[in-house]
Homo-oligomer: A and B are copies of this chain.
């Protein structure tokens, strides 16, 4: 496990620099780019670059492994993003998924009523229209005619895909409560004020579990999942002092929830939501049963009773989780008298696990280095870098979180061994090429 990085306590002191450093690093090294940047960027959407896509995949795969692969009470699905109005009528989103908007009467600009302080941020005006609800669903049309019958919405959450498929899953898997349906995928919310880099964006990626339980067990499973999800972040390297659980007060609760707790992370701007764990009760299944006319419940042959399961939902954001992992991993220290930036990412999340570095561009070295690379690629995401001095290349790998550098030097040609350097300790050991894969597998615990 990664040690708690020393500088992280600064996040709690409102280290404004940390945010700038992460945003700068993400752009400079290819983690995250502004979308359509050559056209001036596009409305708070982001593209994940060569390193970012690796981290994002790792976050999602770690979640899937923990929530689906290692369990036999959870199955996955992958539902469509385009969905018909009926789903969002039943779920309540068409009616209630709104933010209050006002228009400034002086300059006609539009604002979220709860985010301005009585004065228009554009012109300083103080005369606003009445607040009215603005629906956050993205609307489009499917089919050749743009009429009401062709309206489709981009899903604002993956959760409804699980409720709508509840019967299908029950019938095809023979699961019975308690059991869960998991999904990872994109969702879309037409946020009025996207903010804080990839923390709140209109297009984002969710990792959601809907866990169906007998109603009497809802409280127990709520506590179970809250604990399990908190531990997931800790186990992947976020220090506990940067995490907390905050239970919602009754007036904060969503319309469907009998209880919600947020797992919060200490972002540079303060504590903010990383994941919500909610007791959604039988709200959704009942709503879809009523709207569709289907019987969305479970018959328990053991008790001879039919009931509508309660749902416990741990709902995480993949993109904001990635951001939290990067923030928590960011560190600056001094090695051999030289300052360096190092991302102390858990090796399972790092964009590359291994970098193979021939000491120079000499052909004999590159040939051997490429043989080493080919041995490791089936097992790890590997980088290969032959530019600049070896010291500079170590720094470059430290900065993006590569846990192990493998250096091929002139001695390697004689002793058929390479140097393995550890990112966190910078310790170097000589390892025979024959046992290199095994050595790295042991370090990675796989």
Contacts and interface: CB of A to CB of B under 8 A. Distances in A.
Interface of A: 28-30, 33, 35-39, 42-43, 45-54, 56-57, 64, 69-70, 72, 75-84, 86-87, 101, 110, 134, 138-145, 152, 154, 161, 164-165, 167-169, 172-174, 181, 186, 188, 190, 192, 202-203, 288, 291-292, 294, 296, 373, 377-378, 381-385, 387
A30 B173 contact: yes
Given A42-B83, A47-B168, 6 more contacts: A39-B291, A42-B152, A43-B152, A45-B83, A138-B142, A144-B192
Contacts of A381: 69
A79 B35 contact: yes
Given A50-B75, A79-B35, A140 B139 contact: yes
A81 B186 contact: yes
13 contacts: A30-B169, A33-B168, A36-B164, A39-B292, A42-B82, A42-B152, A43-B152, A45-B83, A52-B77, A138-B141, A138-B142, A139-B140, A144-B192
Contact of A76 (B38, B50, B139): B50
Contacts of A82: 35, 42-43, 45, 188, 202-203
A384 B173 CA distance: 11
Most B-side CB within 10 Å, residue of A49, A50, A53, A83: A50
Chain copies in the assembly? 2
Contacts of A385: 174
Contacts of A168: 30, 33, 37, 47, 49
Given A47-B165, A165-B47, A378-B70, A36 B84 contact: yes
Contact of A49 (B57, B77, B134): B77
A111 to B, nearest CB: 8
A78 B101 contact: no
A57 B65 CA distance: 12
